[in-house]
Chain A
Amino acid sequence: MSADSGAESTNGSSNSNEPQKPPIEPLRLPTIEEIRGQDIWNNCAVRSVVSGVMGGGLGLFMGLFLGALDNPIMQHEMTGRELFVYTAKQMGRRSWSSCKTFAVMGLIFSTAECVVEKARAKHDTTNTVVAGCVTGGALSAKAVYHVLRPATKGWHGSLALLEASSIFGSCHDLWTISVYHRKNHHGLQTENTYREGKMHHAL
């Protein structure tokens, strides 16, 4: 008896006469701290802020890299030092502007997706599509407004038309992206789930 209990308590790797079963651990329900820690991600504000910060970081690096590729027009008339200063200023300007754009985009997209998903109480791609529409419309509204403001009286109708077309375009783009995302990260819901290697879109 003592030998058996000794073998069980040490959880020994040596095989005795009978196969050693791993000791069954008791069921451990999550503590309050764990639930609260997981609940942080259910908060719309926290999620959108984190997403905005990540978007800002991405925009920063992207703008930095793309701004370094800009060549000034009067390239051959500038000295080396002037070229360096010019390029550095370009990089800084572009990185800051694209940082702002991407941060706003991430913020709006994350907020819209969170709100829509909480309202629908379903985890679907429709949430992503609607959030994409809202983001595209919000981002293009300012540009459209600045373009059309000096126009004539009929600019209300054309503004609405352009806004609608920009929303449609962004919806289409983001629907495509969401389908790609769904296929690669979540696995599409198909009828032939038992057949490997044949996946088709559910439109």
Chain B
Amino acid sequence: MAGNNNIPSQVDKEQIFGMAEKEMEYRVELFNKLTHTCFNKCVEKRYKESELNMGENSCIDRCVSKYWQVTNLVGQLLGSNRPPV
């Protein structure tokens, strides 16, 4: 019936909490890597002004979009084929 898994036990709670923590760490790592990669790729080291100009803006847009697509694609490839090829 419904009473089996409704109330998570203590072990389940810890498991869920651990998974959430791992997920959070993964997200934070993804964000940091994304910002660093796109910053190093798109912004010149000689800072000539403090505002982002249009070229850098579109470069960052494209960089983030591509990075996100690559992440999703690689995740799908890793997720679908369970035994590594």
Contact = CB atoms under 8 A, between A and B. Distances in A.
Interface in B24-79: 42, 44, 46, 48, 51, 53-59, 62
A42 B51 CA distance: 11
Nearest to A116: B55
A146 interface: no
Contacts of B53: 117, 123
A121 B51 contact: no
The number of chain A residues touching the other chain, given as a range, is 10 to 19
A127 B55 CA distance: 10
B58 A118 contact: yes
A35 B44 CA distance: 21
Nearest to A186: B48
A195 B6 CA distance: 72
Interface residues of B, number: 13
Given A38-B51, A123-B53, A187 B58 contact: no
A118 B51 CA distance: 16
Interface in A118-145: 118, 120-124, 127
A184 to B, nearest CB: 12
Nearest to B51: A38
A123 B54 contact: yes
Contacts of A127: 55
Identify the interface centre among A114, A123, A127, A187: most chain B CB within 10 Å of its CB. Answer: A123
Contacts of A117: 53-55, 58
Interface of B: 42, 44, 46, 48, 51, 53-59, 62
Interface of A: 38, 41-42, 114, 117-118, 120-124, 127, 186-187, 189, 193
